[in-house]
């Protein structure tokens, strides 16, 4: 992702557009298989829209990694902004999401109904995938520069999000009463409205305290992160306060 030197606008080559489209298409295709336990008739418009938004955000994050990797290190960090960092965090989660979708699809479509012992295998593998994503996320978040308030607030939300999944999955894997699953379903959805609220506050503070120009890639990162949180945030708030 580059800025036009004179106009400060985002410019993309034909190859960039092809790669961006391909990565978004890859994530959209993965979302098609992300809910193998649902019949096609059970996938209503709101769920479909949320899946498409999530896929586009993940594809954009992967594309950001591709573009940043092609820039010289000095040039990249000389114009580095918080939205770039957010895009990289989204991109880190994309490979984990693909592996998680593949494992879910394999288990639900190719494993026959089995005793609890095989459910343990499912949750242990899912937990290991999540732990791997957590380590990668922390590594990227720590290595790439960003203002401390972004690290401490946004990355904390992600570690809480992934930590809750790990806790619930590992707990579920070794307890036949499945308490971890109920814990996850009860508290995990609130990560989305809280994460969206944090993002809005950070964006307002950044715009108020930082007078220098923010480039188009920064705002793409802000919008991508906000779009990822928004559908579930609306659903959780609506279900809680309006039934």
* pLDDT digit string, tens, across residues 104-149: 888 877 765 555 556 677 788 888 888 888 888 888 888 888 877 7
pLDDT beyond 80 at 66: yes
Please tell me the distance from the alpha carbon of residue 50 to that of residue 31, in angstroms, as a whole number. 10
Please tell me the distance from the alpha carbon of residue 203 to that of residue 220, in angstroms, as a whole number. 12
Contacts of 131 (CB under 8 A, 6+ apart): 166
The parent domain of residue 220 ranges over 2-242
Q: What is the tally of structural domains in the chain?
A: 1
Query: What is the tens place of the pLDDT at every residue in 146-196?
Result: 877 777 777 777 777 777 777 777 777 776 566 666 766 777 788 888 888
Query: What is the tens place of the pLDDT at every residue in 36-52?
Result: 777 767 677 778 888 89
Given a contact cutoff of 8 angstroms between Cβ atoms, the answer to whether 163 and 171 are in contact is no
Give pLDDT, residue 37: 72
Give pLDDT, residue 229: 87
- CA end-to-end span of the chain: 43
pLDDT beyond 60 at 219: yes
Query: What is the tens place of the pLDDT at every residue in 67-112?
Result: 888 877 766 667 788 889 999 999 998 999 999 999 888 887 776 5
Q: Quick one: how many helices (H) and strands (E) in the chain?
A: 10, 2
Place of tokens 């279900």: 239
Contacts of 149 (CB under 8 A, 6+ apart): 202, 205
pLDDT beyond 90 at 57: yes
């Amino acid at each position: 992702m580059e800025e036009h030197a004179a106009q400060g606008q985002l410019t993309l080559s034909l190859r960039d557009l092809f790669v961006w489209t391909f990565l978004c298409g890859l994530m959209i295709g993965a979302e098609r298989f992300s809910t193998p336990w649902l019949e096609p008739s059970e996938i209503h418009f709101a769920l479909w829209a949320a899946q498409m938004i999530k896929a586009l955000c993940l594809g954009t994050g992967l594309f950001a990694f591709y573009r940043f990797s092609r820039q010289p290190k000095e040039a990249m960090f000389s114009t580095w902004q918080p939205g770039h960092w957010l895009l990289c965090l989204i991109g880190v989660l994309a490979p984990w999401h693909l592996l998680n979708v593949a494992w879910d699809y394999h288990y639900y479509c190719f494993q026959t109904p089995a005793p609890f012992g095989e459910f343990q295998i499912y949750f242990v593998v899912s937990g290991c995938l999540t732990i791997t994503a957590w380590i990668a996320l922390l590594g990227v978040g720590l290595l790439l520069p960003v203002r401390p308030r972004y690290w401490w607030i946004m990355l904390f939300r992600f570690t809480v999000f992934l930590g809750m999944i790990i806790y619930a999955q590992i707990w579920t894997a070794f307890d036949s009463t499945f308490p971890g699953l109920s814990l996850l379903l009860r508290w995990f959805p609130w990560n989305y409205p809280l994460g969206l609220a944090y993002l809005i506050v950070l964006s307002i503070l950044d715009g108020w305290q930082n007078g220098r120009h923010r480039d188009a890639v920064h705002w793409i990162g802000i919008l991508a992160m906000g779009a990822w949180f928004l559908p579930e945030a609306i659903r959780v708030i609506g279900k809680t306060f309006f039934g």
